[in-house]
Amino acid sequence: MKHLVLLYREPRPGQADDEDVKAQANWIRTCLQPRGWDVRELAWPETQSWPDFIPALQACQPEVVFNLVEGWPGDDRLQALVPGLLETSGWAYTGSSLPAILTTTDKILAKAVMQAEGILTPAWGIYRGAPWVPPFFPCICKPAWTDASLGIDDDAILYSPEESQIRLPQRWSAAGKQPLLVEAYLEGREFNVSLRERSGGSVEVLPPAELCFEDWPTEKPRIVNYRAKWDPETFEYHHTQRRFIQDADLAAELKRVALACWRAFRPAGYARVDFRQDAQGNLYVLEMNTNPCLAPDAGFMAAVEQAGYSAAGVLEDIVQAALRRKELGYDANNR
């Protein structure tokens, strides 16, 4: 029997974006156990030091560690240390490496990479607490180091210099005084594109999807905010619907840019790219997501199903990609 450990941070009770990791773990176990994997879970309490999980993993003797760690107490950028610790300890692990996770988790650093690689992304600036007026309106402000749409609601959209002078300091303080990415807000269609690494190392772009804002009030910003992702009691949750793209030309362009993002950020295993389209039809990349959610109702698995693949087969490919990367050297994706 082959041993696989699902490693994740113990969810905080009542925090929906945290508790989602349990759904991912259950789904992965259901898919991989029939394929001969002895799947165990290692949920690490937030009160314990992360390096201490190394002895706990050693006791499990896994062939592969399935890395489901999202975030780090006090600074979400430090989740990148987990693949670093796994790598230096010699384990095969799923998903992206320390450099790829660090680069994509820091939204400001990710913007700089996209700019350097010639990938179209909305105009942006940084708010760090000092007086500053964005040079573009409307704009949206996002905590630079958090994911899962934490800190993003309708009030994240700013429409004037006067409004920005009041709200930017407020939102900076609410985000723990981490930098805010301030980005030009594009009122248009929103898409996401999932990618997967096959066990042999090639990369496949899965069918692109549009996030449709159905029956949306005219005055309400069309954004996928925290409530749309995590709160089933809200309007946003029930009126943000996923539809797969039927326009062949649009799908081809989304796939082309998504592949350019894969080459720029060098993730591994699986990833997702989020897009926005402006009124002229130009596609702008909002962000690259390494190790996106693998729950059965999440966008990645929806794209897997749309492509006609089995979830178990794709998860097995993610595991085999991890084994391949260890065998070839952990920097195989960076060559």
92/196 Cα distance (integer angstroms): 17
Q: Within a 13 Å sphere around the CA of 145, how many CA atoms are in the beta-carbon half?
A: 18
**Per-residue pLDDT, 76:** 74
Q: What is the pLDDT of residues 105-160, one digit of tens each?
A: 999 999 999 999 999 999 999 999 999 999 999 999 999 988 767 778 899 999 99
Which of 174, 144, 161 is closest to 287 using CA atoms?
144
161/163 Cα distance (integer angstroms): 5
**Per-residue pLDDT, 231:** 86
207/252 Cα distance (integer angstroms): 10
Amino acid at 94: T
CATH pick for 2-94 out of 3.30.56.10, 3.90.1150.10, 3.30.420.40, 3.40.50.20? 3.40.50.20
Amino acid at 249: D
Q: Residue 271 in contact with residue 262, Cβ under 8 Å?
A: yes
Which of 205, 215, 264, 251 is closest to 236 using CA atoms?
215
How many beta carbons lie within 10 A of that of residue 144, not counting itself? Answer: 24
- Decide the pairing of beta strands 37-44 and 2-9: parallel
**Per-residue pLDDT, 74:** 66
Q: Which residue has the tokens 């065998």?
A: 327
DSSP 208: P
Residue 272 has φ and ψ, to the nearest 5°, of -145, 140
Indicate the Cα dihedral angle 136, 185, 290, 253, nearest 10°.
Answer: -110
Encoding tokens for residue 222? 């069309």
Encoding tokens for residue 9? 């941070």
**Per-residue pLDDT, 6:** 97
The hierarchical CATH code for the domain 188-334 is 3.30.470.20
Fold category of 121-184 in CATH: Dna Ligase; domain 1 (3.30.1490)
Residue 225 has φ and ψ, to the nearest 5°, of -90, -175
**Mean pLDDT in consecutive groups of 10 residues from the start of the chain, 335 residues:** 92 80 95 97 83 88 95 76 93 96 94 97 97 96 84 90 96 93 96 92 96 93 87 92 97 98 97 96 97 95 98 96 89 58
Domains 2-94 and 188-334 share a fold: no
DSSP 76: G
Q: Could you tell me the maximum CA-CA distance found in the chain, to the nearest angstrom?
A: 63
Which of 58, 15, 63 is closest to 319 using CA atoms?
63
Domain boundaries of the chain, sorted by first residue = 2-94, 121-184, 188-334
Q: Which residues of 198-208 are buried (b: 16+ CB within 10 A; e: fewer)?
A: eeeeebebbbb
